[in-house]
């Protein structure tokens, strides 16, 4: 099969779309794509003055296949869909895919919107010179570009942990002691003066749910549980009993810790999004206890199969206990998540599935 001619139209180097860049790079290296890229100069327009969408362009990426099939990728946390972008593409892949939002779109546009999948930050193995060129185009010679250059060439992690594909995955550790991990961020509701009251209340609610889950898990599991709020000035001030020590939740230490815990807890992110931790747990083949997902992802990813669902902190604790006690269920979920990662979440699989869907839809 000949390689697909693909041009990326980029406007950002955001961590939100790094998974996509990595997927395209892996497919190019495998000879499945002839990959080019150029800078997009127009911003994303949502037709809304909602503060949480004012910088939404950073989470968007376009790809053009064979010169005429345009795909739009939207990895923003929020569920809104900008109509102009939807009208201008053949297929629109939405990270926070809401059937209710899609059903409210004009009927002739609804069929274009597809769920993209779980999102997390992951870099390609080896050097990535395309990332350097994007950074130079976007930022010139700047601190951001120098950081990107360091990241692109630091294939041996000399300058600190880099979340490359081979380091961001693991087969199920079926013999690990059934211990539970939940290290999570606490959001300062008032760190942005432009934030709406609705979004302030959203952050307060997220923090409260996470704090209650941590307390109940500590009480229920004792030494089998490790968790708390990642170190920050806000967490230390607001939750002094739940904030972990500085350095404990650094990226390198977190992923080192994650390796040895077979059971992990995930909660809802900002704007109701599915948090990046859930994707990381799947990539590491964990047995997961997750707050009910508000958005859809492609493929067969379901409660009871890939995670134990909860809707309250009490259900979170009981779900964790269930996975600690039921070794067969724990094993089944870990194996199912390893398969989902291989087929749907690994960056090249996620992008390959999207491209195949787009080509089929454009041809129909």
180-184 and 113-115: which strand pairing? unpaired
Residue spans of the chain under pLDDT 50: none
Whether the model clears a pTM of 0.85, i.e. scores above it, the answer is: yes
| Residue 27 token pair | 């497919």
User: Domain residue spans in the chain?
Assistant: 4-156+347-363, 170-345
**d(C-alpha 259, C-alpha 173), whole Å:** 9
How high is the pLDDT of residue 246?
Answer: 79
**d(C-alpha 275, C-alpha 293), whole Å:** 10
How high is the pLDDT of residue 313?
Answer: 97
Q: What is the pLDDT of residues 167-211, one digit of tens each?
A: 999 999 999 999 999 999 999 999 988 888 999 999 999 999 999
3-state helix/strand/coil string of the chain: CCCEEEEEEECCCCHHHHHHHHHHHHHHHCCCEEEEEEECCCCCCCCCCCHHHCCHHHHEEEEEECCCEEEEEECCCCCCCCHHHHHCCCEEEECCECHHHHHCCCHHHHCCEEECCCCCCCECCCCCHHHHHHHHHHHCCCHHHHHHHHHHHCCCCCCCCCCEHHHCCCCCCCCCCCCEEEEECCCCCCCCCCCCHHHHHHHHHHHHHHHHHHHHHHHHHHHHEEEEECCCHHHHHHCCCCECCCCCCCHHHHHHHHCCCCEEEECECHHHCECHHHHHHHHCCCEEEEECCCCECCCCCCECCCEEEECCHHHHHHHHHHHHHCHHHHHHHHHHHHHHHHHHHCHHHHHHHHHHHHHHHHHC
Q: What is the pLDDT of residues 337-362, one digit of tens each?
A: 999 999 999 999 999 999 999 999 88
| Residue whose tokens read 């669902």 | 309
Please give the CATH architecture assigned to the domain spanning 170-345: 3-Layer(aba) Sandwich (3.40)
């Amino acid at each position: 099969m000949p390689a697909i001619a693909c041009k990326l139209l980029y406007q950002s180097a955001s961590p939100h779309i790094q998974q996509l860049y990595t997927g395209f790079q892996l497919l190019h290296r495998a000879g499945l794509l002839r990959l080019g890229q150029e800078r997009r100069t127009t911003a994303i327009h949502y037709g809304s003055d909602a503060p949480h969408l004012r910088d939404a362009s950073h989470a968007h990426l376009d790809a053009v296949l064979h010169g005429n099939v345009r795909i739009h990728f939207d990895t923003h946390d929020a569920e809104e869909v900008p109509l102009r972008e939807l009208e201008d593409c053949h297929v629109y892949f939405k990270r926070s895919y809401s059937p209710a939002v899609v059903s409210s779109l004009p009927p002739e546009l609804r069929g274009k919107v597809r769920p993209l999948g779980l999102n997390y930050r992951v870099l390609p193995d080896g050097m990535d010179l395309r990332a350097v060129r994007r950074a130079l185009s976007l930022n010139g010679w700047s601190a951001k570009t120098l950081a990107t250059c360091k990241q692109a060439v630091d294939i041996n992690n000399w300058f600190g942990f880099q979340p490359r594909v081979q380091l961001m995955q693991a087969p199920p550790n079926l013999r690990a002691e059934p211990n539970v991990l939940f290290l999570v961020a606490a959001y300062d509701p008032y760190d942005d003066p432009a934030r709406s009251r609705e979004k302030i209340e959203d952050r307060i609610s997220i923090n409260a749910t996470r704090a209650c889950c941590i307390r109940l898990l500590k009480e229920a599991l004792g030494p089998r549980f490790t968790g708390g709020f990642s170190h920050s000035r806000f967490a230390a001030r607001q939750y002094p009993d739940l904030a972990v020590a500085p350095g404990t939740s650094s990226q390198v230490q977190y992923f080192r810790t994650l390796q040895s815990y077979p059971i992990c807890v995930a909660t809802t992110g900002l704007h109701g999004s599915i948090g990046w931790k859930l994707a990381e747990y799947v990539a590491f083949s964990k047995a997961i206890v997750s707050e009910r997902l508000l958005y859809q992802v492609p493929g067969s990813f379901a409660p009871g199969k890939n995670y134990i669902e909860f809707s309250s902190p009490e259900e979170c604790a009981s779900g964790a206990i269930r996975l600690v006690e039921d070794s067969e269920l724990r094993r089944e979920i870990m194996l199912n998540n390893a398969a989902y990662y291989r087929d749907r979440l690994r960056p090249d699989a996620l992008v390959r599935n999207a491209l195949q869907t787009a080509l089929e839809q454009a041809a129909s």
